[in-house]
Amino acid sequence: MTANVDDPFQRLRNTFIVANGVSTLGTSMAMLAMSFIIYDQTHSVGATGLIAVFFYLPSIFLAGVSTRLASRWGGLKLDCIASTAIVVSSLIPVIMSILGHLTVPVLLVWQLINGICYGVRGPAVSLITRTLAPEGQVQEYNGRLSRAGAIAGIVGCLAGGQILTHIGATVLFAFNALSTLGVVLVLAPHIKVSTGQPAERRIMDVFPLLRNNRPVRGAFISLLGATLASCAVVTFPAIAHGFSSRADALSYMQAMYAAGGIFVVASIHFARKRATWGRVEAWCHGLFVVFLTSLGLILLTPLPPRLIFAIALILVFALGYFFLIANSVLSALMQIGVPEADRAAGLTAFTLVSMISIPVGQEFIGILADLTSTELALIVTAGVVLVMWATGIATGRPKLLDQLDDKHQAPELVSKATAQVPALWNHR
């Protein structure tokens, strides 16, 4: 009893991790099903890329609204209301699947509504985690959330493929709707708890920062290169369809891409005393080129299909693993290296760069794949990343990134940064 008085959030802290994990489990299933169904009905990589466009577009325009709502209601109340709206909107694919009208336009409209709900929720989750975390353990708590989400996402990908193949989309989308209901039930009794004020989002302030601060500008350019490499995920449905017309092949690819998230924190701590963060970023970007090129080339070889698919899975795992390392380090460097007066604007702009570059990058690769081939689209993407990598090496970008962390303390924030990395399913 005394422990509960001393720590009023002890129970809520743990149940929120469980509820968040279950929600991620359902979301990963839904994202898998949506990408599979859209590609299966259209055979267009560009159409598959519209999933990201319809999801991220509202978040870009609702940043200011979400900040004001978080200031007025608090993170717990805002997340509870937004999650309730997500549950209600998640009934759309369930009903349309029962009626036999689960079409591409229906799924994209649903994704747009989801994007609006997530966009309105904005900074609610970060406010909640700061409130629930034990004093002085924000990074550790975010790390627990991140690991639980990564494991749930991987399980969701694998289970989702089997459910979609053997049971059907109706059951899968119904589970997705119920999975987010747990978040609502966990947060509802606590919506009056104060979670503090979100940072003001003054996006225009970032332009003087980028103009006058070369290391920060280098971090933004590095983020663009890493994000473009990650946009290759839009080709996964097309690649998987070449090996199997069922959803299980796609589920293996998405699970392998995400599996590296489990090892990111440990890997970065391992690299801490062995290389500067600028060199780590340079190696990651160079490896993006190798993996994207290899993935495109292996699909053109006359090897047995099972061997090609096995090699492709290894390359997909490596691509996802090094992307998460690069993105986590960059996020941590931004938190450390941006001057405190400009930190709110810098971090918000850093997040918005991902929100903009992901749909743009996926549509670029998708349209190129539709006009030519998936293999050529991957190789061309590797070429663009190669140019960005070579330009960065020539202009000394690794040393610029090192200036953002002259005390070499980025790993202390990696757990928090990893929780904020955009993934295939984890919108929370």
- pLDDT (tens digit per residue) in 244-278: 989 999 999 999 998 887 887 778 777 777 778 88
- When mean pLDDT is compared across 207-216, 340-349, 350-359, 380-389, the lowest value belongs to 340-349
Count of domains forming the chain: 1
- pLDDT (tens digit per residue) in 10-59: 778 888 889 888 999 999 999 999 999 999 999 999 999 999 999 988 88
Q: Is residue 391 part of a domain?
A: yes
Q: Is residue 217 part of a domain?
A: yes
Residue 195 three-state SS: coil
Terminal Cα distance for the chain, rounded: 32
Q: What is the predicted pLDDT for the residue at 13?
A: 82
CA trace torsion 157, 160, 161, 165 (10° rounding):
180
The closest alpha carbon to 241, from 151, 312, 317, 163, belongs to 312
Residue 377 three-state SS: helix
| Average pLDDT, integer, range 112-120 | 89
Q: Is residue 304 part of a domain?
A: yes
**C-alpha neighbours within 13 Å on the C-beta side of residue 219:** 29
State the CATH number of the domain containing residue 370: 1.20.1250.20
Q: Is residue 427 part of a domain?
A: no
The closest alpha carbon to 352, from 78, 55, 63, belongs to 63
Vertex 374 angle, CA 371 and 380, to 5°:
85
Contact between residue 389 and residue 279 where contact means Cβ atoms under 8 Å apart: no
- Helix 343-371 crosses helix 374-394 at what angle (to 10 degrees)? 140
Q: What is the predicted pLDDT for the residue at 182?
A: 86
Contact between residue 411 and residue 257 where contact means Cβ atoms under 8 Å apart: no
- When mean pLDDT is compared across 7-11, 13-17, 204-208, the lowest value belongs to 204-208
**Residue 111 belongs to what domain range?**
2-419
Mean residue pLDDT across the chain: 84
Q: Is residue 425 part of a domain?
A: no
Q: Is residue 146 part of a domain?
A: yes
| Average pLDDT, integer, range 153-180 | 93
The closest alpha carbon to 54, from 350, 327, 348, 363, belongs to 363
pLDDT > 70: percent of the chain: 85
Please report the sign of the dihedral spanned by the C-alpha atoms of residue 321, residue 326, residue 330, residue 336: positive
Measured distance CA(270)–CA(267) in Å, rounded: 5
Q: Is residue 424 part of a domain?
A: no
